[in-house]
Amino acid sequence: MKVLLLNTYTHGGAAVACRRLENALQEDGVSVKLLHAGETGNRWPFYAERLSFLPYERDKSVRFSFSPANFGKNLSRHPWVQEADVLHLHWINQGFLSVEGIRELIDLGKPIVWTLHDMWAFTGGCHYSGDCTHFQQSCGNCPYLGKPSPTDLSHRVWVRKQKAYSPTLRIVTCSEWLANVARSSSLLKDMQISSIPNPIDTTVFQPVTNEEKRNFWLSKNLNPDIPKLLFVAMNVGEERKGFRFLQEALQKLRAQHADLQLDIVVMGKVQEEALATLPYPVHALGMIRDQQELARIYGASDLFVIPSLEDNLPNTVMESLACGTPVAGFATGGIPEMVGHRQQGFIAPQADSKTLAEGIYWILRQADLPLLRRQSREKVEVQYANTIVAKRYLQVYEDMLVMNANASGKAAKK
C-alpha cells in the first residue's frame, strides 16, 4: 500500500500533525510520502489566492480566516499522486488546492481520505465559523465579508464545493466535536465521517524527573522552586486564541491569592507589550523547533494553560499531557475530550476567566499533582500514541481500498 499525504505547509499545527502521522505510519511499515506546496514549485497561487479575497474581506483581521480556494495547483498529474494507492488530504488551503483541484483528484478514482483540521471543508470559506451556523444550510450573509448577502462570496464558494465533492470522500476529524459539527453541515452530512486523533511520539514527549526539572530551570536562570505556568502563542492578537482571558484570569488569581508566587513561561512569537500586561514575571523562550527541547519545557512546567475560544484538537495540549503536565483551559472544541475535568487538568466554561483562575489555583495548590501528572501521561499512552493512531488509519485505508475494488468490479461487470 502506497499512501500520499497532502498538506500545504511543513509548519503550523496541521503540518505538525501530518508529519507525526507520516512518522507513525512509517513505524508501522507503510510506504508513505508527504506532498506539500514547497515540493510543487512557484508560490504564485498563494499570492493570487490571497489577493482574490482582498476586495471581499470585512477588514484585515479576517484576511487569513477565510479561504475562497480560487487558485491552486493541478496535482492530479504529479508522479507521487499517480503512483499512490490512497490519497490523504489534510490542510490544503492558501494556493495549494483549489476547490476544482480537489475535484481533479476525486476524478482519478483513487480512495481519498480527508482529515479536517478546522471547519473549512464544509463552510463557504471560513476556517472557524464562531456563532454562525449558515454552513448547515447553504452559506451566505457571511460575517467575514464586507458586504454580506444571500448570494455573497461564501454562498458561491459553497456552491462550488457542492458541485465538486463526491460521496466517495472519507472524512476524518481529529476530534469528536468537529465530527459532530461536520455531520450537521449541508455539504458533508451524507458522507462517512469518523474521528481519529492526531498521533504523538511518546518516546520523545515524556515526563522528566524532579532532578531534570530543577536543573532545567537553573539552566534558564530561573528559580526552580517557583511554579511555572506555560503558555504557547503564535499570535496573541488573534481573538480566537483568547489571550485576554488569560490576562483576566491571572489578574484575578493575583488579586485573590497575593501570596502565590508564579512564573509565566511563554513559547512562540509574541508581542512584548502584550506580555507586559501579565501580573507575574514573564520569561519568553521564543520559537522552539527542536522536539526534545519542547518536551523538556513541557515536562518541567507545572501546568499548561490554553484559553482558546475556537480550536480542534490542539497539538500543544497533547504535547503537554504526554509530558505529564496537566492542562487548564476552556470547554472549547476537542479540548474537553483530551482533558478530563479534574483528571488531567481543569476545564472552565468558555470565556469564563474567573473559573479559569480557580482552575489554575486548584492545579497548583489543591490538586494531587503527582496523580494529575500520571493520569495525563496515561491518557496519551492509551489514546494518542503513534502505534494506536497508525492502526486506526490503516483500517480506514484498507476499508477504502476494498470498497474501491468492489466498485471497480461491479463497474467492469456492467
Specify whether 64 is located in the same domain as 114. Answer: yes
> Which whole number is the average pLDDT over 177-185?
97
Q: What's the whole-number average pLDDT of the chain?
A: 95
Distance, in Å, from the CA atom of 277 to the CA atom of 207, rounded to the nearest integer, reads 31
Q: Which tens digits make up the pLDDT trace of 5-16?
A: 999 999 888 999
> Which whole number is the average pLDDT over 199-207?
97
pLDDT more than 90, % of the chain: 90
**What pLDDT score does 221 carry?**
96
Specify whether 184 is located in the same domain as 260. Answer: no
Query: What letter would DSSP give residue 278?
Result: S
Residue 404 or 204, more confident: 204
Distance between first and last Cα of the chain? 27
Say yes or no to pLDDT of 337 above 70. Answer: yes
Specify whether 269 is located in the same domain as 303. Answer: yes
Q: Which tens digits make up the pLDDT trace of 227-258?
A: 999 999 877 777 888 999 999 999 999 999 99
Specify whether 228 is located in the same domain as 352. Answer: yes
**What pLDDT score does 413 carry?**
59
**What pLDDT score does 410 carry?**
64
Distance, in Å, from the CA atom of 401 to the CA atom of 122, rounded to the nearest integer, reads 25
Domain span at 149:
2-199+385-413
**What pLDDT score does 409 carry?**
66
Instruction: With CA atoms as reference, report the closest residue to 95 among 74, 72, 111.
Output: 72
pLDDT more than 70, % of the chain: 98
The confidence band for 414, taking pLDDT boundaries of 50, 70 and 90, is low
The confidence band for 411, taking pLDDT boundaries of 50, 70 and 90, is low
> Which whole number is the average pLDDT over 4-28?
95
Number of domains in the chain: 2
Q: Tell me the CATH number at 275.
A: 3.40.50.2000
Residue 250 belongs to some domain of the structure: yes
**What pLDDT score does 18 carry?**
96
Say yes or no to pLDDT of 407 above 90. Answer: no
**What pLDDT score does 204 carry?**
97
Specify whether 151 is located in the same domain as 67. Answer: yes
Q: How many CA atoms lie within 13 A of 174 on its CB side?
A: 25
**What pLDDT score does 42 carry?**
76
Scanning 220-365, the segments in alpha helix (DSSP H) are 243-256, 272-275, 291-300, 315-322, 335-338, 353-361
Adjacency order of strands within the sheet including 228-232: 282-286, 263-267, 228-232, 303-306, 327-330, 345-348
> Which whole number is the average pLDDT over 166-192?
97
Say yes or no to pLDDT of 273 above 90. Answer: no
Specify whether 254 is located in the same domain as 303. Answer: yes
Say yes or no to pLDDT of 285 above 80. Answer: yes
Specify whether 189 is located in the same domain as 231. Answer: no
**What are the cell numbers at 306?**
490554553
Say yes or no to pLDDT of 272 above 90. Answer: no
Say yes or no to pLDDT of 412 above 80. Answer: no
Say yes or no to pLDDT of 62 above 70. Answer: yes
Helix (H) or strand (E) holding 395: helix 386-413
Say yes or no to pLDDT of 200 above 80. Answer: yes
Say yes or no to pLDDT of 282 above 80. Answer: yes
Specify whether 293 is located in the same domain as 408. Answer: no
Specify whether 297 is located in the same domain as 392. Answer: no
**Which range, of 64-73, 205-214, 244-253, 272-281, averages the lowest pLDDT?**
272-281
Specify whether 181 is located in the same domain as 214. Answer: no
Specify whether 409 is located in the same domain as 326. Answer: no
Residue 218 belongs to some domain of the structure: yes
Query: What letter would DSSP give residue 116?
Result: E
Residue 204 belongs to some domain of the structure: no
Q: Which tens digits make up the pLDDT trace of 155-166?
A: 999 999 999 999
Type of residue found at 120: W
**Which range, of 38-47, 96-105, 106-115, averages the lowest pLDDT?**
38-47
> Which whole number is the average pLDDT over 57-80?
95
Specify whether 95 is located in the same domain as 158. Answer: yes
The confidence band for 268, taking pLDDT boundaries of 50, 70 and 90, is confident
**What pLDDT score does 234 carry?**
75
Distance, in Å, from the CA atom of 399 to the CA atom of 406, rounded to the nearest integer, reads 11
